[in-house]
Amino acid sequence: MTYQPDRSQYPNKKADGSLDIDLKSGKFLKLWQGPQHPGITGNMSVELTVCGDEVVEGITHVGYLHRGFEKLMERRTFIQCFPIVCRICVPEPDFNEYCYAAAVEELAGIEAPEYANWIRTLILEMGRINSYLMYCGGQAGSFGMGVISQWTTYVRDLMLDRFEELTGARIYHMFILPGGVRDRLPEGFAQRMEETLCEIESTMSDVYNTMYCNAVFKKRSVGVGVIDIDLMDAYGVTGPNARAGGVAKDVRKDQPYLVYPELDFEPILGQDSDIYTRADIRRQDLLQSVDLVRQILAKMPEDGSLMAKIPSVMHWKIPRGETYIRGECSRGEYGYYLVTDGSGYPRRVNVRGPSYTHAMALLERMIVNLNIADVAGLMVSLHTYPPEIER
């Protein structure tokens, strides 16, 4: 990186630590990026203050997707909450279903059957694949490579077909519910899944050639948007964002859930912690998930029980308690904090999406000193989904 910005015009800090930005001085410009912008998955805007083509301050604004799910759930019975949790994250809804179901099961003292846990794991890995495919398209798009998203959208669509035949729906699967899962694998599912996985691998090989081995992409992503290792804890960084900096953390390994102990995989690590490394970690993660889906289909039992015996749902009460359930989604740690009070309704549900820290505090910290043109690339490289910030 040879570019050295001229810092002479940068705002000074005031006594209270805030920046001394006088827009009337003509040195600064306010620029709104979003809420609709190709660099953002979902609706979110960043209020940029730029000096020349450099960002001196970026403030994240959310609120375009708030539906108050956490509050809505407080007046729904435990079973009635199940269909709405998936809406909290559109591209990867299944972690909501799993975390919610597991939290309810833990507080209600229910153990989901093993066969159901295999199917749950399968669905979560399928969801991770789809989320990464969406990311690849977005990351490429943020650097002007529109075709990549067309390819990944196609193979993602094939995976949606698999979701549809397994769960009965393409986007909001509503398949993992407290107690187990709704149904077993359809006839011939493994075969069709294998065809889809091959198609994904082939597409990812094309993506590798055109995006990852692309001088333009490398030029713009290598060494840009580096998350210093000491920010990892301060900002609660998790998932590929942390692993790209060498932090070997993966919930699937650290606090193994479902059937992950029976699957063979190692967390994928990087070192440079820049946009390129994060993109590459995700590509490898995707391929790892492809492998995990194959492992699951090979190792899972032929048949088994779908549902544990659950209380009659119309009057299901759960004793007072609280718990936190997490899973490793494509963006990092996804978790549900559930508090029950002995009634038939949750006392409090708090959804902890990784984007909450990645897109707010972390982004605002990292955006400073960035070139305007790289802002979109940085935002996508943090892989954030605004709905999980606002819920």
Least Cα distance to 201 among 267, 129, 273, 148 occurs for 129
For the segment 132-171, give every residue that binds another protein (CB under 8 A): 147, 154, 161, 164-165, 167-169
Three-class SS state of 126 = helix
Burial of 119 (0-12, 13-18, 19+ CB in 10 A): buried
Please select the residue that binds another protein; options are 20, 53, 183, 194, rule is CB under 8 A. 183
- Does residue 209 interact with another protein by CB under 8 A? yes
**# chain residues binding another protein, by CB under 8 A:** 82
Question: Tokens standing for 137?
Answer: 């398209």
Nearest approach in angstroms of CB 52 to another protein is 25
Please select the residue that binds another protein; options are 27, 37, 249, 294, rule is CB under 8 A. 249
CA distance linking residue 391 with residue 389, whole number of Å: 6
Nearest approach in angstroms of CB 103 to another protein is 11
For the segment 281-320, give every residue that binds another protein (CB under 8 A): 305-307, 309-316
Residues with Cβ within 8 Å of residue 241, at least 6 apart in sequence: 227, 278, 331, 332, 354, 358, 362, 382, 383
Phi and psi dihedrals of 65, rounded to 5?
-125, 15
Least Cα distance to 32 among 48, 51, 18, 12 occurs for 48
Please select the residue that binds another protein; options are 54, 274, 333, 388, rule is CB under 8 A. 333
Choose between 6 and 302: whose C-beta lies nearer to another protein.
Answer: 302
Residue 233 CA: distances (Å) to CA of 236, 248, 253, 266: 5, 13, 19, 22
Choose between 209 and 369: whose C-beta lies nearer to another protein.
Answer: 209
For the segment 342-371, give every residue that binds another protein (CB under 8 A): 347-348, 350, 352, 356-357, 360-362, 365
- Does residue 88 interact with another protein by CB under 8 A? no
Nearest approach in angstroms of CB 213 to another protein is 4
- Does residue 214 interact with another protein by CB under 8 A? yes
